[in-house]
Chain A
Amino acid sequence: MVEVKDLVKRYGDKLAVNNVSFTVDSGEVLGFLGPNGAGKSTTMNIITGYLSSTSGKVTVDGCEILDNPIGAKSKIGYLPELPPLYMDMTVKRYLQFVFDLKKVTLPKEEHLTEVCRVTKITDVYDRLIKNLSKGYRQRVGLAQALIGNPPVLILDEPTVGLDPKQIIEMRNLIRGLGKKHTVILSSHVLSEVQAICDRIIVINNGKLVANSATKEISGNVAGYHKLELHIDGATSRVISALKTIDGVVRVKKVMDTVDGFGEYMVESRKDTDIRKPVFHAMAKIDCPIVMMKSAELSLEDAFLKLTKDGIPVKGGKK
């Protein structure tokens, strides 16, 4: 649906986007992840035709953004970092304006009502935008992007500045939209991307560092399983018993917990599940396990690792 090829953008000497290529399939929700200033917004601005790339090609549903800007733009609904709202208009007037601006041919009243229902802004429909709270403004921004039912939605940090309840609502909303539209979403909040997206692209310093399915990304980086254990018993006995288990790579005592148990971190090979052997080993030496938790490498760890090393993950498409 969206194809980005060898995209380069220079601001003077600064290379903001460096040879980024990826494709987004129809109906996919793609997360665009990266620290602040990584080039996320720049890339999105280029895809939507707000900025021009120094070199490279962007195709949206068969329309090249430079050759056929009107065609490509009419297929995209864009919510920039700061929603482009006219503060002096009411929500109704503003959405009507966007409707006319995009030259949408759907029945006007019905379509606007539908968009307002989806984004839950019906109750502020007649209010001035400048009097709305940040959360509502963000939703009006999303409504604006949805007008005309564009096949591609590009959302730049859609949950930034919202309160936790609004964030959850916005995520659910986007997940719902992902069923009908192709969505590209940027964020620097990892849990958010993990929760919403099918596939994640990690970008750092303008470079693509990873491109794979959400599930794969943390698994690929890890290389081993981690198990967090709270065990009652003498440290030396516990450690030597744990080390005898087949598949265990490393055992480390982290600290003594407040209630007097020892906290251990056990790393094991990826192909073996050591949870049952650990139980039996501890039962044998009469050291009860009071807590066992699988400490999966989170996306946070994966992300830090990726942006630090800059090594593309295996399984990435490009």
Chain B
Amino acid sequence: MSAIYRREMYSYFTSGIAYVVLTVFTLFSGFFFMMNCLVSDTSSMTSVFVNMFMVVLLLLPILTMRLFSEDKKQKTDQGLLTAPVNLFQIVIGKYLSAVTVFAISLIIFILDAVVISFFTQPSWSMIFSNMLGMFLLGSAMIAICCFISSLTESQVVSAVIGIAVGLLISFLDTLASAVPIDFIASSLKSISFLTPYQNFSVGIISLSSVIFFLSICVIFLFLTIRVYEKRRWS
């Protein structure tokens, strides 16, 4: 597992994908920080995190697009699957590498908070609650995108579907309020990513929100493993 994790990290930082994702993330978070905190003259970073919700959902498919699809295309999965490691280790190793790159991008918020600290005392607990929420959101999104990437041989297809899913998730609440049938509307609301995420944004670390995101991770990583398993048997 650690060998696969290290290889993926190496690949992220030599192919440049990690730099591109980190740069775009930093640009947007910097923009929102300037507009929502510095220009608006407030020390609360909550609106920065709310605005970054969509950026995370649309950016992470780029980070994960080649994670599994490229292996399939270049036939390097043959090397992994015939090595003495199990599927769980392969999938988790790759998944954790993407999560690590994403986690690195979150460091920028600490710098933002340090900037605030020059003017006033930043609310550290709020900021960490927000960062935890964003980390869990990102981890769940990465798991979904891993699954998408494992389904195809093409990075582009994987990225496009990932972004489409990201958009769908971000519109889920709007969609739910537009659906007239109560049953469907409430079902859509219950899988909303925004509701549990907003809990973190206002500083509430609720167990249900944590479990919601973690279960998304588990479900989609499990499905990714099943995709590999199925390929052996087909």
Contact = CB atoms under 8 A, between A and B. Distances in A.
Given A50-B232, A97-B7, A84 B78 contact: yes
B228 to A, nearest CB: 11
Nearest to B2: A100
Interface in A21-56: 45, 48-52
B76 A101 contact: no
Contacts, number: 71
B14 interface: yes
A136 B75 CA distance: 18
Interface stretch (B81-89, B147-155, B199-207, B213-221): B81-89
- Bin chain A's interface residue count: 20 to 34
Contacts of A144: 79
A69 interface: yes
B3 A49 contact: no
Contact of B232 (A52, A70, A71, A80): A52
Contacts of B112: none
Interface stretch (A85-93, A113-121, A181-189, A266-274): A85-93
B15 interface: yes
Interface string B53-87: 00000000000000000000011111111111110
Contacts of A103: 84
Nearest to B1: A101
Contacts of B19: none
A52 B4 contact: no
Interface residues of B, number: 25
Nearest to A76: B82
A80 B11 contact: no
Nearest to B234: A11
Contacts of A102: 83-84
Contact of B80 (A52, A82, A101): A101
Interface string A169-192: 000000000000000000000000
A97 B6 contact: yes
A42 to B, nearest CB: 12
B81 A50 contact: yes
B10 interface: yes
Contacts of A264: none
B82 A70 contact: no
Contacts of B86: 69-70
A225 interface: no
B88 to A, nearest CB: 12
A49 B15 contact: no
A49 B81 contact: yes
Contact of A86 (B7, B82, B83): B7
A73 interface: yes
A49 B82 contact: yes
A84 B84 contact: no
Interface string B76-107: 11111111111000000000000000000000
Given A50-B78, A89-B14, A97-B3, 7 more contacts: A50-B82, A69-B84, A73-B83, A80-B79, A84-B78, A97-B7, A101-B4
5 contacts: A11-B234, A86-B74, A100-B6, A101-B4, A101-B85
